[in-house]
């Protein structure tokens, strides 16, 4: 019999909250975390707005010396992991370190450190480079630092699949538990992309919103007047356990991970397949692995980027999978409030999905004001809704044609 995988701990640092409770409260309220970019002078960019993490002081968490040896994305991951471990009631003196694993992904890793060190090399010469440059920029740094800080000796690595990263990390972590390679997995994603080269590069592609005078209205998934996504930063970590391990500890269980699907469009390096075939197949695979019929799903946390192509493609994919049941689904986008956290997006959205199952409340898609004929589902516009979902999906689609979907079930035992 296949092992059941349950969720026992949640941790997050996002543009709307320094932890999971404050983040979830903001999402239910429909509060945006967007504003003018303050991390650097963005006055010469087409997009001058973003969803930044507020009031984050790494020195307060790590001390000055250690903070200087970690990129911001790794710092975020460590903070979110600490919250998740505490939430799960996991203590180092009680765990079997070799039976705990880590998968923490990122889309572009330590790009802030890379940019800063490149400038140092150019202006001050190679002798002034930090000896920690490579350990700070490598994408596996977050997973490695979590292992080092907590003395965890089980499998530890990073997943990198652009904006599908966080979802893939959770799905692969669940797979390790199911096949018996771990009892506990620390998994999720972290991203700190709000640096000039990253924002400017996304902007020159035409991917970002330029609604600079109205930052809190800029991210508007599925709305007819959407003009691009809003870049964001942050991290989210989930603690997964085998059911037997969690019940032996007597801890609170949030939900069960029951399905996972992953596919590739194999069509274009940035644009999704316009018919949504890869996205639809990822959802079908998640349903199949969960043993679910489409009509058993109550809610979908959409990828919902606020880009013209993604939103209508995702809508087509949902209709292709769910048929007439698509009209009975609640569908909402977390990105309407926190922007697009890229490699961390799927992990934050997984937490939002799990909280919806736990509380019975589905957060809204804010800024939905002008219906688009090509986006014709129930996007839970502007106000949260009590629907008491039992089964939910969380979608993530990334540059490179990466598609991933997770299926969760409310814990009722």
Q: 249, 282, 308 — which closes off a domain? A: 249
- Given a cut of 90, is residue 291 above it in pLDDT? yes
Residue at 232 is within a domain: yes
Catalytic residue, chosen from 245, 340, 363, 402, is 340
pLDDT tens column, 178-222: 999 999 999 999 999 999 999 999 999 999 999 999 999 999 999
Paired tokens of 308: 């013209």
Q: Let me know whether 231 and 365 are in one domain.
A: no
Residue 94 — pLDDT band, cuts 50, 70, 90?
Answer: confident
Q: Are residues 55 and 168 in the same domain?
A: yes
Active site residue 163: yes
Put residue 56 in one of left, alpha, beta given phi > 0 → left and psi -120 to 50 → alpha.
beta
Q: Alpha-carbon distance 61 to 135, whole Å?
A: 19
Q: Residue 205 has what pLDDT?
A: 94
Report the pLDDT value the prediction gives residue 375, as an integer from 0 to 100: 98
Q: How is the beta sheet containing 255-264 ordered, strand by strand?
A: 156-157, 100-105, 184-191, 234-242, 5-13, 255-264, 402-410, 391-398, 299-301, 330-332
Q: What is the length of the chain?
A: 413
What domain count does the chain have?
Answer: 2
The arithmetic mean of pLDDT across residues 349-359, rounded, is 98
**Which whole number is the average pLDDT over 358-363?**
98
150 in helix, strand or coil? helix
**Which of 396, 409, 400 has its CA nearest to residue 346?**
396
CB 155 within 8 A of CB 391: no
Domain-embedded: residue 254: no
- Give the residue among 37, 350, 36, 32 at the shortest CA–CA distance from 193: 37
Query: Do 136 and 70 touch, CB atoms closer than 8 A?
Result: yes
Mean pLDDT of the chain: 97
Is residue 117 domain-resident? yes
356-370 average pLDDT score: 98
Q: What pLDDT sits at residue 358? A: 98
> Do both 126 and 32 map to the same domain?
yes
- Tell whether pTM > 0.95: yes
Return the pLDDT at 2. 82
In the structure encoding, which two tokens stand for residue 50, read together? 């973003």
The single residue of 303, 363, 375, 405 carrying the catalytic annotation is 303
Q: Are 19 and 234 in contact (CB under 8 A)?
A: no
340 is catalytic: yes
> Where are any strands of DSSP class E within 19-81?
35-36, 49-50
**Phi, psi dihedrals of residue 12, rounded to the nearest 5°:** -160, 150
- Is residue 346 assigned to a domain? yes
Same-domain pairing of 43 and 68: yes
Token pair recorded at residue 178 = 């199911």
Say if 299 falls within a structural domain: yes
Domain-embedded: residue 255 = no
- Secondary structure tally for the chain: helices H, strands E: 14, 14
Tens digit of pLDDT for each residue in 31-68?
999 999 999 999 999 999 999 999 999 999 999 999 99
Q: Which residues of 250-277 are buried (b: 16+ CB within 10 A; e: fewer)?
A: ebebbbbbbbbbbbbbeeeeeebbeebb
Of 249, 274, 299, the one marking the end of a domain is 249
**At 296, which CATH number?**
3.40.47.10
CB 281: neighbour CB atoms within 10 A? 20
Beta strands 5-13 and 255-264, pairing class: antiparallel
Range of the domain at 39: 5-249
Distances (CA, A) of 105 to 41, 56, 269, 319: 28, 21, 20, 30
Residue 177 lies inside a defined structural domain of this protein? yes
The verdict on residue 233 lying in a domain is yes
Last residue in a domain, options 249, 269, 284 = 249
Residue 59, helix vs strand vs coil: helix
Q: How far apart are CA 362 and CA 352, in angstroms?
A: 8
Residue 413 has pLDDT above 80, yes or no: no
3-class DSSP state of 237: strand
CA distances from 52 to 151, 190, 339, 380, 400 (A): 31, 13, 9, 25, 25
In this structure, the answer to whether residues 242 and 165 fall within a common structural domain is yes
As a whole number, mean pLDDT of residues 247-256 equals 97
39 in active site? no
SS3 392: strand
Shared-domain flag, residues 71 and 127: yes
pLDDT at 162 over 80: yes
Residues 284 and 222 in one domain: no
Active-site residue (options: 150, 163, 363, 375): 163
- Beta-carbon contacts of residue 335 (< 8 Å; ≥ 6 apart): 219, 221, 229, 230, 232, 303, 304, 305, 306, 345, 349
Question: Are 26 and 167 in the same domain?
Answer: yes
d(CA 396, CA 162): 10
Among 274, 367, 366, smallest CA distance to 315 is for: 274
Residues 241 and 295 in one domain: no
Residue 308 has pLDDT above 80, yes or no: yes
- Percent with pLDDT over 70 in the chain: 100
Indicate whether 1 pLDDT > 70.
no
Q: What is the pLDDT of residue 93?
A: 86
Check whether residue 196 and residue 286 sit in a common domain: no
Let me know whether 90 and 188 are in one domain: yes
**Arithmetic mean of pLDDT, 321-335:** 98
Minimal CA–CA distance to 49: which of 57, 39, 58, 59?
39
Question: Are 348 and 232 members of one domain?
Answer: no
Report the b/e string of 316-355 with b at 16+ CB within 10 A: bbbbbbbeeebeebbbbbbbbbbbbbbbbbbbbbbbbbbb
């Amino acid at each position: 019999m296949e092992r059941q995988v349950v969720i026992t701990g949640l941790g997050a640092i996002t543009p709307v909250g320094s932890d999971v409770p404050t983040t979830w409260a903001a999402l239910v309220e429909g509060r945006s975390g967007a504003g003018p970019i303050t991390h650097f002078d963005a006055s010469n960019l087409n997009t001058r707005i973003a969803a930044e993490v507020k009031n984050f002081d790494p020195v307060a968490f790590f001390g000055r010396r250690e903070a200087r040896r970690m990129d911001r994305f790794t710092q975020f991951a460590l903070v979110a992991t600490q919250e998740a471990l505490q939430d799960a009631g996991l203590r180092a003196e009680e765990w079997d370190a070799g039976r705990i694993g880590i998968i923490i992904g990122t889309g572009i890793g330590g790009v802030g450190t890379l940019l800063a060190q490149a400038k140092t090399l150019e202006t001050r010469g190679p002798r002034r480079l930090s000896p920690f440059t490579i350990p700070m920029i490598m994408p596996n740094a977050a997973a490695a630092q979590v292992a080092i800080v907590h003395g965890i000796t089980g499998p530890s690595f990073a997943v990198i699949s652009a904006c599908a990263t966080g979802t893939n990390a959770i799905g692969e972590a669940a797979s390790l538990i199911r096949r018996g390679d771990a009892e506990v997995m620390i998994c999720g994603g972290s991203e700190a992309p709000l640096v000039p080269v990253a924002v400017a590069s996304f902007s020159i592609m035409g991917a970002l919103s330029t609604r600079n005078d109205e930052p809190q209205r800029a991210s508007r998934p599925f709305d007819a007047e959407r003009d691009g996504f809003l870049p964001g930063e942050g991290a989210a970590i989930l603690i997964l356990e085998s059911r037997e391990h969690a019940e032996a500890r007597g801890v609170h269980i949030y939900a069960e991970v029951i399905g996972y699907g992953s596919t590739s469009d194999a069509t274009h390096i940035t644009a999704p397949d316009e018919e949504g075939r890869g996205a639809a197949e990822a959802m079908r695979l998640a349903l199949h692995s969960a043993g679910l019929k489409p009509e058993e799903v109550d809610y979908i946390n959409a990828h919902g980027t606020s880009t013209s192509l993604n939103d209508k493609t995702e809508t087509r994919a949902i209709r292709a999978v769910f048929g007439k049941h698509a009209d009975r689904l609640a569908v909402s986008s977390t990105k309407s409030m926190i922007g697009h956290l890229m490699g961390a997006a799927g992990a934050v959205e997984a937490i939002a999905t799990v909280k919806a199952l736990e509380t019975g409340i589905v957060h809204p898609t804010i800024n939905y004001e002008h219906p688009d004929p090509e986006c014709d589902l129930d996007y839970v516009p502007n106000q949260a809704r009590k629907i008491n979902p039992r089964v939910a999906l969380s979608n993530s689609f990334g540059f490179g044609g990466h598609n991933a979907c997770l299926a969760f079930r409310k814990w009722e035992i």
